[in-house]
Structure 1
């Protein structure tokens, strides 16, 4: 894969996708959107990849939309605007639905659309100095395409406040709201991400993939007979799977399962 706005590296079953436009605080435009979509689709299909880290180069994780891109959009027709917005929505959904677990490594400030990137990931870890802002209302805009993920991540009540106030808040508040899973000193960020990727790689790739899908499919559903049948079917299917049988067998035999790296 060749990119102009990203770097992608794969080592020890972990792919690291890095936003690489530090001169504009990793703001995204049509190129970034297309490359992120392509990268996550490709990595999601690679059996060797068991986890993906989404990172940013430079002082900011992602400042949202590139100003030059926004200026160009001002001259778009209604159809062009809709099509352009849909590509952003599809990119976020590609990250959210990627069959590999995705960790956001947040080394700096994250604004507007960058919040959508974080919320679309499965796990989010930030340096304690990072700040966050849903800044769209300041510009007369709204966080529409990112809203499905941000509302799920930080909750409806918090979204009500921060969507309309556009207040800046720190990593500790983001952790309290549930947007983040861990906040660490900047010098400990890589170690924390490595700890999490090691945990992911040690687990059954199939179980991790199906567990991610399970949360997405079950969250918010009514607990009724259809749901009971669905969850029973899922556990029955994975018990009979190759990795399911291997996991139970290796546990009983007190040995390392076949999928775990030496």
Structure 2
């Protein structure tokens, strides 16, 4: 049974994260299915652009702590989105946490409904938003990144747009995305690929320079006793031992 839905209409392929039972957590399986679907889109001349969306009330809750992907595989997925020769548009109508924010950062355009909310929750389980920083820190306001990385606070779609995490926020996300999608349909495949290559250059420099260091840093943090306590507390729905 697949946990990624696929639909196609007038040049736009929609990929839908469809594992609402675990809030579309980024499991090894979901990451693998998404990577394969993107590979298929890259090869398909009928695909002008990709929309990445979700079922349920959560776009993605971040890494699946019970069945996490290999960190190198997740880095490869983020890089694949950045380098895909077709624009990738995130459409969000719910909660986004931790690694799910990495997907938004990798997308070329990200839109969310005003009912959506966001949080970098890594700090609350004893780790850091290490790998997802590869696409995010180039896009986000530095002062906002400092605040939300360090506090794990929840913030709304308007704030996410203000700090550069989103392209736009609106009460009706589909209405707001209408002109964007039509614009992509009017663009040539060559023009889109060439324009995206220009836009992605600085983010790719970050991947080339920092990916290995951030994967190792993330692995070290997740293997620590403090992170084990944080993840156990999360799964047991209790506060970790350090909460004052």
Higher relative contact order (CA 8 A, sep 6+): 2
Deviation at 1:201, TM superposition (A): 0.9
Q: Does 1:105 align with 2:91?
A: yes
- The RMSD of aligned alpha carbons is 1.8
Aligned to 2:145: 159
**In structure 2, C-alpha distance between the alignment counterparts of 1:23 and 1:124, rounded to whole Å:** 24
Using structure 2 for the length normalisation, give the TM-score. 0.79
**In structure 2, C-alpha distance between the alignment counterparts of 1:28 and 1:215, rounded to whole Å:** 26
**In structure 1, C-alpha distance between the alignment counterparts of 2:203 and 2:133, rounded to whole Å:** 16
**In structure 1, C-alpha distance between the alignment counterparts of 2:89 and 2:112, rounded to whole Å:** 10
Q: Residues 141, 45 of structure 1: CA spacing in aligned structure 2 closer, same or farther, 3 A cutoff?
A: same
Deviation at 1:42, TM superposition (A): 1.4
SS in structure 1 of the partner of residue 112 of structure 2: strand
Deviation at 1:106, TM superposition (A): 0.6
Tell me which of 36, 61, 69 is aligned to 2:59: 61
Query: What does 1:11-30 correspond to in 2, within 5 Å?
Result: 11-30=9-28
Q: Does 1:129 align with 2:115?
A: yes
**In structure 2, C-alpha distance between the alignment counterparts of 1:200 and 1:118, rounded to whole Å:** 18
Gaps of 5+ in 1: 71-82, 222-262
- Bigger radius of gyration among the two: 1
**In structure 1, C-alpha distance between the alignment counterparts of 2:107 and 2:203, rounded to whole Å:** 16
Aligned to 2:225: none
Gaps of 5+ in 2: 206-244
**In structure 1, C-alpha distance between the alignment counterparts of 2:139 and 2:38, rounded to whole Å:** 20
Q: Residues 50, 138 of structure 1: CA spacing in aligned structure 2 closer, same or farther, 3 A cutoff?
A: same
**In structure 2, C-alpha distance between the alignment counterparts of 1:138 and 1:210, rounded to whole Å:** 40
Q: Contact 2:138–2:203 (CA<8 Å) still a contact in 1?
A: no
| Number of residue pairs the alignment of both structures matches | 205
Runs of 4+ with deviation above 3 angstroms: 218-221
Q: Does 1:169 align with 2:155?
A: yes
